[in-house]
Every structure is written in C-alpha cells, then in structure tokens.
Amino acid sequence: MKLNEQIYSYFSVKKESDDDFFISLPPLQEVKEIGKGLQNVNYELLFEGNLKYILRFNTWKGEDVYGEVVSIRDEFEILKALESYCIAPKVFYCDTTRKALPFDFLIEEYLYNDGEKTIEDFENSVKVVKKIHSLTLDDKARKLFKRSPDAPHKINRYKRWQEIILNESGDPLALLLETNKEVYFKYVNEHASLLEGDTPLHCDLFPENFLHYNNSWFLIDWQTPGLGNKYWDIAFLLWNFSYQFSLGRELTNEEEKKIISAYFEDEGDQKVALQEIKKLLPILYIDLFQFLLYKSVVFKREKLPLWLRDFLQKRLEVAKDLILKEKTVSYWFLQMKR
C-alpha cells in the first residue's frame, strides 16, 4: 500500500478512537506530498471545510550534520515549548509507535506561505532569527535544545566519520579530508569560542525553512535546534551553499549587508560581527563536505524502502555535484591555513 493510501486508512481508523484531536476532525479529503528532506517527508492533509494540517514523517534515525540523532518526538516537544512565541507552527499530535504507519510522525499547523522569499525581505525575515536568539526558555524547554557541537565534539566527530568514510568510500576527496585533518583540528581549536554559547539556535536556516504568513515570518523544520553561539546561525544566513542549493544562486554583497544590518543595528557592531561570523564559514563548508561523503556511505548500509533510498541518494548527488569538488574543498582548507 502506498504511503498516501496508508495515511487515508490511518485517519479513517483514528476517527473512531477516543482521541480528542481525531474526534474533532471532519472527513479527510486529500493527501498531497509537499516536500522531502534528508530527514523527513511532509504531507498536506486537506479535510472537509478546507481545514488543513501538515503531517511530517521522520523517515530514518540517522545522524544529522551535527552528529546528533534526529527525533520527531523531540521536535514535537520543542514546537510545544515554542507555541507562545509565534515563531513556529503549532503542533497537535505525535506518534512514534510505528504500529499503523511505517515512520514516526507529528501533525502540525498548516501555515499558508504567500511565496515571499527571505531574499526579498531580509529586514524582517532576519528578525525572526533574532527573536529566537532572545528567547528566555524555562529549564524544561532548554533541555530540549541540544548543546551545539563545540570544538572537542567537532573534532571527535570528524575522526569518527573519517574512519568510516576511509574504510567504505572510494571517493578521492576522502583522502583530501584525511590529509588536511590537522588543519581542521587546529582551526576549530583556534576558534573554539565561536562555537560556544548559551543562545537558543535554529541551526538549519535554509531559505525554504522560512515561511511568510499573515505579515509575519515563521521558521519550520525544528529537528536540529541547539544552544550555542548566535554567530553560528548568522553564519548560516551568509552561507552561499544554502542559497545555491535552494535558490540556484549565490548571495550578493548587497544582500549580505542587509542581513548584517538587519541583525546588528550599530554600524560598529556590524563590522566586528561580520569579521567573526565569516571565520565560521570554513567550518560550515568542511563539515558539509565530510557530511556528504559520510551520508553516501551510510545510506548504502541503511535498510530503507527503495523509493526513499533513491530519493536520498539523488538529494545527496545534487549537493555533491554543486559543491563537492577538489578545487572547492582545497579552497576552504586554504582559508583555514591563513
């Protein structure tokens, strides 16, 4: 049975349950896939009366780019903790039993996206990131935000992933990462303070994770939030790869200035901050290069449905074709040596 057919069946059965959320739902009319990521598949659910929700599957239990195992239950609890801040969708239900559907999933609010892009409104889209960084979370909520990888964590993960890559991958770039591992270790240690902090972070600020709805900006995909240095999130906003991968082009100098000025009001602060933030870009890139090689190996090991395996491999290939080249890898190691 196809996944969308399983979803129809699931809601038919749950409608007869004693769960208040399902009892209140009108008949399900349409199930439409609206996007896949490396960690998830998302469906738009249309109920009678034009009522909509998003069903979000966590399709596998592998590590993310930070070396953390993704959990849909954690994402559900995080969204619950953020409900009062109006920066993320509301969430209504989570199921990790896999009894009726093949993957862990949650059901969240459908936020209509009017199509406005972050690049068209950096002044306000960056403000939602700044709002996240200013959150005062209680102890329970803070425990849901994993500590963002510091220098020792990154170095240990680099070593662990390299061992796996070298043993199972024939990609010549694996040797380039191995040859330059001490360059990475030294650079990460020298800039350790930029990886430390206690600020709530989103940690996955790709353009498609911003939604503009009802004159406000929201962020979706809360699978990898953390506590760390706010510069890490801002570096993500300046990371050309995210715009190349999502929009097919790089960030312009003018757009870079808009991001910094939207976050830092004082011009003096802008100049100092930009210098520090750009020191994180080599780490972002080298982490990405290794992540792509590591995932290429791991996906071959995973016992995944054929359709999911094919999608994940194709998704990786798009990123690898875009960025994973000897010249590019060597360039970012060179930036670390300077």
Of 22-31, 77-86, 306-315, least confident by mean pLDDT is 306-315
Task: Measure the CA–CA gap between 31 and 46, rounded to whole angstroms.
Answer: 6
Contact 308, 58 (CB under 8 A): no
Residue where one domain finishes, among candidates 109, 137, 171: 109
- Domain span at 46: 3-109
Same domain, 49 and 175: no
- Backbone phi and psi for residue 21, each to the nearest 5 degrees, phi listed first: -60, -45
| Token reading at 262 | 């939207």
Per-residue pLDDT reduced to its tens digit, 262-274: 999 877 789 899 9
Task: Measure the CA–CA gap between 227 and 150, rounded to whole angstroms.
Answer: 10
- Backbone phi and psi for residue 226, each to the nearest 5 degrees, phi listed first: -155, 180
pLDDT above 90 for 285:
yes
Same domain, 132 and 220: yes
Residue 220: count of CB within 10 angstroms of its CB:
21
CA pseudo-torsion sign 80, 82, 85, 89: negative
Same domain, 98 and 182: no
Same domain, 235 and 187: yes
Same domain, 98 and 126: no
- List, in order, residues 6 or more apart from 10 with CB less than 8 Å away: 100, 101
- Dihedral over alpha carbons 233, 212, 121, 118 (to 10 degrees): 50
pLDDT above 70 for 66:
no
Task: Measure the CA–CA gap between 130 and 234, rounded to whole angstroms.
Answer: 9
Per-residue pLDDT reduced to its tens digit, 179-209: 999 999 999 999 999 999 999 999 999 999 9
The mean of the pLDDT values for the chain is: 91
pLDDT above 70 for 16:
no
Q: What is the CATH number of the domain that holds 247?
A: 3.90.1200.10
Residue 198: count of CB within 10 angstroms of its CB:
12
Q: What is the pLDDT of residue 299?
A: 84
Residue 242: C-alpha distances to residues 46, 232, 248 (Å): 31, 14, 9
Same domain, 318 and 244: yes
Same domain, 68 and 129: no
Same domain, 307 and 209: yes
Q: What is the pLDDT of residue 207?
A: 93
237 band by pLDDT with thresholds 50, 70 and 90: very high
Same domain, 144 and 37: no
249 band by pLDDT with thresholds 50, 70 and 90: very high
CA pseudo-torsion sign 232, 238, 244, 247: positive
pLDDT above 80 for 27:
yes
Per-residue pLDDT reduced to its tens digit, 171-184: 999 999 999 999 99
Residue 177: count of CB within 10 angstroms of its CB:
22
Q: What is the CATH number of the domain that holds 99?
A: 3.30.200.20
How many distinct structural domains can be found in the chain? 2
Same domain, 100 and 226: no
Same domain, 205 and 331: yes
Residue where one domain finishes, among candidates 62, 89, 109: 109
Per-residue pLDDT reduced to its tens digit, 35-65: 888 788 899 999 999 999 999 998 877 776 6
Q: What is the pLDDT of residue 206?
A: 94
Residue where one domain finishes, among candidates 43, 77, 109: 109
Per-residue pLDDT reduced to its tens digit, 141-175: 888 898 889 999 999 999 999 999 999 988 999 99
Give the rounded percent of residues in the chain with a pLDDT score beyond 90. Answer: 66
Pairing of strands 146-147, 199-201: unpaired
210 band by pLDDT with thresholds 50, 70 and 90: very high
List own/partner pairs for 264-273 with CB under 8 A and 24 or more apart: 273/231, 273/234
Q: What is the pLDDT of residue 55?
A: 96
Q: What is the pLDDT of residue 215?
A: 86
| Residues facing 147 on adjacent strands | 227
Task: Measure the CA–CA gap between 173 and 326, rounded to whole angstroms.
Answer: 7
Same domain, 146 and 218: yes
- List, in order, residues 6 or more apart from 42 with CB less than 8 Å away: 33, 34, 35, 36, 54, 55, 56, 57
